[in-house]
Amino acid sequence: MAEFSYHIKIPHDRIAVLIGKQGEVKKQIEEATKTKIEVDSKEGDVTVSGQDALLLYETRDLIKAIGRGFNPEIAMLLLKQDYAFEVISLPEFEKPTQFRRIKGRIIGKEGKSRRLIEEYTDTYISVFGKTVSLIGRSDTVSIARKAIEMLLKGSPHSNVYRWLEKMRRELKRREFEENVEDFLVKDEEK
**Each residue's pLDDT tens digit, 162-171:** 999 999 999 8
Residues in contact with 89: Cβ distance below 8 Å, sequence separation at least 6, in sequence order: 130, 131
**Domain residue ranges in the chain:** 4-79, 83-181
List, for residues 66-79, the tens digit of each pLDDT value. 999 999 999 999 99
pLDDT of the residue at 190: 62
**Percent of the chain predicted with pLDDT > 70:** 94
Would you say residue 179 has pLDDT above 90? no
Which pTM does this prediction carry? 0.85
The answer, yes or no, to whether residue 14 has pLDDT greater than 90, is yes
Of 45, 34, 44, residue with least CA distance to 3: 34
Lowest pLDDT segment from 15-19, 38-42, 75-79, 118-122: 38-42
The answer, yes or no, to whether residue 187 has pLDDT greater than 70, is no
Domains 4-79 and 83-181 fall in the same CATH topology:
yes
CA distance 100 to 90: 11
> What local confidence, expressed as pLDDT, does residue 1 receive?
61
Choose the CATH number for 83-181 among 1.20.1250.20, 3.60.21.10, 3.40.640.10, 3.30.1370.10: 3.30.1370.10
Class of domain 4-79: alpha beta
Which of the pair, 41 or 144, is modelled with greater confidence?
144
Q: Is the dihedral of CA 68, 69, 70, 76 positive or negative?
A: positive
Q: What is the rounded average pLDDT of the residues 144-153?
A: 94
